[in-house]
Amino acid sequence: MARERQSMRKIKEMLRLNEAGFNKTQIEQLSGTTRKTVREYLRQAEHVGLRYPDIEKLSSKEIYAKLFPVTTERQHAIKDQPEWNDIHKELQKKHVTLALLWEEFIASNPNGCRYTQFCYHYDQWRKKLDLSMRQVHKLGEKCFVDYAGHTIPIINKETGEIRKAQIFVAVLGASNYTFAEATWTQSLPDWLSSHMNAFEYFGGVPELVIPDNLKSGVDKACRYEPDINKTYHDFALHYNVAIMPTRIRKPKDKPKVENAVLVVERWILAALRNRTFFNLTELNEAIDNLLEKLNTKPFKKLSGSRQSVFTEQEKSTLKPLPIIRYEYAQWKKAIVNIDYHVELEGHYYSVPYRYVKESIEIRYSAMIVTIFKDNKQLCSHLRSYLKGKHTTIKEHMPKSHQEYIEWTPSRIVSWASSIGEYTGTLVYRIINSKDHFALGYRSALGVIRLGNRYGNNRLEAAAQRAIVCGGYSYHSVKSILEKGLDQQPLPESQSNALPCDHENIRGAQYFNQTRKDIAICL
């Protein structure tokens, strides 16, 4: 079942990437499936007219039912053909190939070299470039991210403690435009925050983010099917960007960021080696100044600079930033308890009661807790940090439990007080001793119902003995009545024990007005 849910999640991701304009080869790499599988699923989806917006909120079973009842016709994959100075720049534009460039060249130069020689001479020229610049990356397509191997010490002025700051680096594939910042850790919150800061520095979002198999972003490193951290994937959905980790121990998979890290270490970290920093803000201001110099520094073997190429060519190809910044959220798996609540950091949130004992996923941010079943949202709550407390939506309860909400503690206590002072006090203490209102009301109603079986006089005597003994529960009162202890005199020192006064006891008058209605619930 878990494998089927994972498969449906990958199908969902394939349709999302297809909707975003990625070709099948790219979808194969991003989703971690074979080309044949990608082709079959997309063919099937097209045949039944299924698009990503149609399944975004469906469960795995619903997606499967819509996708697989019918067969599909074969669809031919659209293959994008890959790659002197101007030719190299033109290849960075979307859908431009060497074949197209040669056709344009030969149309204006009939006596020019043939296509085979055209490709050969371009390849020879390209080999003279640095490794990171030889690769042709489409404008706005890829952003490479990683941490530098070196850190920068920051000194606490008050304690003298030295703490090492991590250096995050991001570089755009086509222009080599570089971003860097210092963070305290390489943890997931810092990792995602640096991604957001990089996108805002670029003023847009690329199509692909290519990280190393960093533990913060990848749960399980694998050469062919790396598992993206659920929060990282959630972040990718928010920014409509695809995540494609590099292969393990394959630095040539990401020469852009390897080179960018080296450049940052040489031109920024080395320049700051003799400076002393006392806080992270001060360090990042220094990095920003040197980063501007780095991005405006002219290329040696190409015309322009990182900034000029970015401004003139790549910036306009980036996707716009979302209106709302991503709110960091984590995920947790849980099983719905028999009281139709799930626990998160000591607080309990309700789930529709029909999901009792089922496995669900919890997405929680600083403000919101959202609960999912098979990738389908069940409900959401405002986040609470009160440990041991419950957040409950009335509609999540069985109808028998919903009835409890209609009765305030004062109404239940007043009902009990009509039997006697001790019964009212006992019920008051029972309700206030329970953490969850449903459990308290249930016990209180159980105590009152004992009067139907044993009589109100015996119940009042049993309530007095329970108060003296500190037995504030339905089972204590029931045991006293079953054993006849209510009919035995209390010790002299305890016989004058009186109930505590409290504002919730209203007496018999209030009870007489509502008794007929309340009896229906019993």
**What are 275-307's pLDDT values in tens digits?**
899 999 999 999 999 999 999 988 776 677 888
Tokens of 154: 């920051």
258: closest CA among 161, 133, 352, 160? Answer: 133
d(CA 36, CA 269): 46
d(CA 295, CA 305): 7
Longest dimension (CA), the chain: 123
d(CA 55, CA 52): 5
pTM, two decimal places: 0.55
Q: Is 3's pLDDT higher than 50?
A: no
SS3 111: coil
What would the mean pLDDT of 41-48 be, rounded to a whole number?
77
Tokens of 367: 């403000």
The burial of 97, by beta-carbon neighbours within 10 Å (0-12 exposed, 13-18 middle, 19 or more buried), is given as middle
Could you tell me the pLDDT band of residue 205, with boundaries at 50, 70 and 90?
very high
- Residues whose CB falls within 8 Å of the CB of residue 102, separated by 6 or more in sequence, listed in order: 115, 118, 119
What would the mean pLDDT of 159-167 be, rounded to a whole number?
91
CB 188 within 8 A of CB 326: no
CB 324 within 8 A of CB 336: no
Which H or E element spans position 344? strand 341-344
Q: Apex CA 171: angle with CA 168 and CA 173, to 5°?
A: 155
- What is the pLDDT, as a whole number, of residue 169? 92
Strands 368-373 and 178-183: unpaired
Percent of the chain with pLDDT over 70: 70
Could you report the per-residue pLDDT of 246-259, keeping only the tens digit for each?
765 555 555 666 77
Could you report the per-residue pLDDT of 329-347, keeping only the tens digit for each?
888 999 988 778 899 998 9
- What is the pLDDT, as a whole number, of residue 398? 78
Buried-state track 226-256, b at ≥16 Cβ within 10 A, e below 16? bebbbbbbbbbebbebbbbbbbeeeeebbbb
Q: Tell me the residue type at 81.
A: Q
Tokens of 435: 């953490």
Task: Give, to the nearest 10 degrees, the angle between helix 409-417 and helix 421-433.
Answer: 150
What would the mean pLDDT of 487-513 be, rounded to a whole number?
51
In the chain, the N- to C-terminal Cα span, in Å, equals 42
Tokens of 275: 């400076």
